[in-house]
Structure 1
Amino acid sequence: MFRAQKKRTLERTNFGLEVHRDQAYPDRLNFYSVPPNAEITIEEFENWAVDRLRVLSEIEGCLVRNRTGKQLEQVVRPSMEKYIPLSRSTSGSGTAISGGKVDTDYERKKDYYSHYILRLAFCKSEELRRRFVKAESILFRLRYTASDISEQQSLLSRYDFGWVLVSEEEKTELQDFLVFASESGSPSVMNPTAETFYKVPFERVPELIESRRVFVKSGDAYVPSGLQVNLIVSEFGDRLGRALDLTARALPRLDEDDRLVPVLDHLAKGFVEPEYNPESTSSISGTITAVQVDGLVNHYPLCMRTMQKALLRDHHLKYFGRQQYGLFLKGIGLNVEEALTFWRSHFKHSPDQFNKDYRYNIRHNYGLEGARKNYRPMSCVQIINDAAPGPGDSHGCPFRTFSEDHLAGALSEIGINDSTTLRLIKDDIRTKQFHVACTRVFEQTHKSAGAKSTIGTAVGQESITHPNLYFDRSMQFTSQVINIETASAPAS
């Protein structure tokens, strides 16, 4: 009987390891200490990793833009619940299966595997490893603080952290120092002898030392139980950092797998765009006309401004430029007939020549020719990873392709000249966070003292990850500014 059960559970051997089709995931909180070895599909491999990367990208965007802990949680938690939910065993929310029951095993399996898949993608360089550890540590903190006491205690009981419990005698001896261990410098531990303290090497809690929230003596930090989460998060980050180093050494073994390496290379680009549906979020009601397009350029991101400028100058765009700009115009509300009118008026060709060379391609983008696929506007990731611009081309992401002087000139044309903003944008480009640089440009070009208090929380809450999202936000911002000015105008 035992042998028969084992045969059903163990399907086959892979790389010398038994491959389990069924694994138990009893805990919501864990340090991902044991690599998973069950089977998943290629589709699951990619989709699970992309969902987790969406959440990590939101975290990274908040960090770059100096969000407070509360603001970060407000932005990130909805993404967590949408893409990588982790329901309690008794919870009534989460990923539902037949009968309305929450499939907690599926949620935890997805969480576990997506973490390990992104380890493979982000272990390739020291910079990627640093970013991954930081984002994952914050994700772990959000989950830990939202968990109940039993779940937290279950985590602590499974791992030996090597913390030294401070004795009653030592607490009594140091109580005059321990009572002032707080962020503000005022007493936070009213009775140190009644509080539980742990003694750990000071280098393990640098953030607590920086904010003067712990007492340090002879190289040891005395951490009260109320700040235990900092110890746990620090331990999580340290262990993950060491694990990524080991993963980097083992990664060359995957080089011959032509199914996984392209997926991992794409994930390692650093961020993915949130889901965006121009049809459901467009700020323009109805259809715009060809003659209106030129007047909307102030709402364009820099990539689309560049192509509009080239089109007006040269009366032509090469193929990739027409694709990128044409789909963007489609997304903002230009229908196929108006698109034909727009391109015809700018290209200055005879009607017969235009129809012969360009009409089919324009209609094809609208799903009216060929395979009749209704193409969507390109996202930032697609633009960045698409064919690099060559001589005479104007497509692509300017933050990725422009020289420093060329970019500075382009930014100056739209009113961005201050050295601080230019330095921050340069830093974003250096770390390949092109979407963050674009978001900074949006925020700088949409400042308005009168509208700030009303819409300051709505503008720039998430990073710009799609040219049409930039356009929609700009239109919404302008609409709100007009409404505010109208409401505050004196009656005639």
Structure 2
Amino acid sequence: MQFMSRQKKLLPNSHTELYGQCLQFYGQPPLENIALSEFETFAVERLKLLKTVENLGVSYVKLSEQYTKKLDQESKNLNFPYRADADDRKSQSGPSEIEKRRKDHISHFILRLAYCQTEDLRRWFIQQEVDLFRYRFSYLSSKQKLEFLHKNNLQYDAISVEEKKALQDKLVNSSYAVSGITVEDQDFYKVPFQDALDLVRTRKVYLKAGYVYIPHQDIVTIILNDFRTRLSKALALTARSLPAVHSDERLQPLLNHLSHAYVGQDYSIQKNVGKISLEQIDSLSGKSFPLCMRQLHQALRENHHLRHGGRMQYGLFLKGIGLSLEQALQFWRSEFIRGKVDADKFDKAYAYSIRHMFGKEGKRTDYTPYSCMKVILSNPPSQGDHHGCPFRHSDPELLKQKLQFYKVSPSGISQILELVKGMHYQLACQKYFELTHNIEDITFSLNHPNQYFVESQKVLGGGKDIKREMDTPQRSQENSGRGSAAAREAAAAANASQHLAEMTEELDSFFQDA
């Protein structure tokens, strides 16, 4: 199947011209034909890259040595342009480098279609793309930066040697990290002040007669502002075109799913069935359940009932950690009959849905536990509900009280609330994991409640993988931010031979309305 364009396919020399530079503003959309399988692969792998950018941006100082090293490695694993490419002059226009830039270009525009649909999605997409752009701009040489400026009509002129000498004291006193010894060798750009408001606000530049004088290393601030503005406008325009795109029955489901996409382990294959006993659940909920499942378990124990959304979210989670169908029926029946539901009513009204989620009724689908993205973005809770993500759906004051009740330290609560304020809900959950397990820096990117449980059991087992049976075969590539570089490379190699058509089936299964 082909994703066809109304325009003619690009010729090879057009590729060379379009991807002649290793960085771009994505001003020109792709014009070529592309297979639907490649469309999916590019989109999923760019989403992995942006998830890594988000995670690293909170875990490390941006552009620090650790930050760039990890992002270099992930870009390399996913075959996107990365720092080493900028240093390898021989590969700048080679076939492999052109292919990386082509993938980067096309995948950006695919995710534009997926992430232009709501304000929250647009905000998240812009922030990660801006951070990715900052990282890539930082590895350009001075010559490449100037070429990039001129190619994108950012005609900021470098001031003359005479003007630098005349303003030397002013430039030294106002410009961060510029010494008198290096001013003469340092390029300064004369820019209208309205194009550099962030630098003016933080008093990092010299301002005179409506212009600011920006040292070469700070010009990135101007570029980022311009990139952010262009991308914001482009997403608004893309949103207007969505009705036409959604008329294509091949693309509409894919685009809807991408904004909710989880591309890691699905926890549906139950090699660990029966490993968890009913008597363990109360204890495990306090030690190894993520906050979303902990609150559902507590609500069930207190109220002896959960509404449909809570039963699905919690029921599939319990299925994923090893509860068998027989155990699940016993668990829910014993809890519900303590409330206002007798055994006969439970068998008639609720037992069917439990068998259904285990694939024993209806279309007999083996439903997968909900990922963090699905919990956050679909079926928000209303009054009386207890499902959803506490970091996304709880009032901040209520969340604070809940964390205090669970004995999270005041400084830890402040860190979590700051992440919530920045809409980094999964990272807030990751911080909750670190604080409740006394770990300073976890080595995985948290994307699934069942992953939280597995990793918690590893930690509590003293580093031993006591739930190794739960590490099921993956139907998709390993999550981008997870584990060591060696582990990621091994996972990529293991998945390389999988048929691309499998990804379509996988994405469909992730988003079934169970």
What TM-score results when the alignment is normalised by the length of structure 2? Answer: 0.68
String of CA shifts for 1:203-257, please: whole Å, max 9, x gaps: 4344544565443322322233344444444443344344445445555655655
What is the match of residue 73 of structure 1?
68
String of CA shifts for 1:63-97, please: whole Å, max 9, x gaps: 567844425435544443344612649979x9xxx
Query: Mapping of 1:289-304 within 5 angstroms?
Result: 289-298=277-286, 299-304=288-293
What is the match of residue 6 of structure 1?
none
Change in 2 beyond 3 A, CA 1:86/1:182: same
What is the match of residue 453 of structure 2?
471
Query: Mapping of 1:347-426 within 5 angstroms?
Result: 365=357, 374-387=366-379, 394-402=386-394, 407=399, 410-415=402-407, 421=413, 425=417
Question: How far apart, CA to CA, are the structure 2 residues paired with 1:285 and 1:356?
Answer: 26
What SS does the corresponding residue of 2:155 show, helix, strand or coil? coil
Query: Mapping of 1:27-176 within 5 angstroms?
Result: 27-63=21-57, 67-70=61-64, 72-73=67-68, 76-83=71-78, 85-86=80-81, 88=85, 103-123=96-116, 129-147=122-140, 152=145, 155-156=148-149, 158-176=151-169
What is the match of residue 198 of structure 1?
189
What is the match of residue 426 of structure 2?
435
Change in 2 beyond 3 A, CA 1:285/1:190: farther
Question: How far apart, CA to CA, are the structure 2 residues paired with 1:257 and 1:176?
Answer: 62
Aligned length: 447
8 A contact 1:161–1:235 mirrored in 2: no
8 A contact 2:80–2:103 mirrored in 1: no
Alpha-carbon offset, residue 335 of structure 1? 4.8
What is the match of residue 310 of structure 1?
299
What is the match of residue 8 of structure 1?
none
Which one-letter code corresponds to 2:275 in the other structure? T
Alpha-carbon offset, residue 163 of structure 1? 0.9
Which one-letter code corresponds to 1:162 in the other structure? Q
8 A contact 2:391–2:428 mirrored in 1: yes
Change in 2 beyond 3 A, CA 1:406/1:200: closer
Question: How far apart, CA to CA, are the structure 2 residues paired with 1:176 and 1:387?
Answer: 60
Question: How far apart, CA to CA, are the structure 1 residues paired with 2:310 and 2:298?
Answer: 12
Question: How far apart, CA to CA, are the structure 1 residues paired with 2:363 and 2:5?
Answer: 43
Change in 2 beyond 3 A, CA 1:273/1:80: farther
Question: How far apart, CA to CA, are the structure 2 residues paired with 1:411 and 1:404?
Answer: 10
Change in 2 beyond 3 A, CA 1:279/1:477: farther
Stretches of structure 2 lacking an aligned partner (at least 5 in a row): 465-514
Question: How far apart, CA to CA, are the structure 2 residues paired with 1:398 and 1:183?
Answer: 41
Bigger shift: 49-58 or 243-252?
Answer: 243-252
Stretches of structure 1 lacking an aligned partner (at least 5 in a row): 1-10, 95-100, 449-454, 483-492
Change in 2 beyond 3 A, CA 1:316/1:89: same
What SS does the corresponding residue of 1:287 show, helix, strand or coil? coil
Change in 2 beyond 3 A, CA 1:183/1:158: same
Instruction: Answer with 1 or 2: which has the greater Rg.
Output: 1
Bigger shift: 325-334 or 40-49?
Answer: 40-49
Which one-letter code corresponds to 1:413 in the other structure? F
What is the match of residue 504 of structure 2?
none
What TM-score results when the alignment is normalised by the length of structure 1? Answer: 0.71
Alpha-carbon offset, residue 139 of structure 1? 0.6
What SS does the corresponding residue of 1:216 show, helix, strand or coil? strand
Structure with greater contact order relative to length (CA < 8 Å, sep ≥ 6): 2
8 A contact 2:291–2:390 mirrored in 1: yes
Change in 2 beyond 3 A, CA 1:305/1:192: closer
Question: How far apart, CA to CA, are the structure 2 residues paired with 1:208 and 1:35?
Answer: 31
Change in 2 beyond 3 A, CA 1:235/1:110: same
Question: How far apart, CA to CA, are the structure 2 residues paired with 1:189 and 1:266?
Answer: 55
String of CA shifts for 1:363-394, please: whole Å, max 9, x gaps: 66556777665443210222234445578754
8 A contact 2:268–2:369 mirrored in 1: no
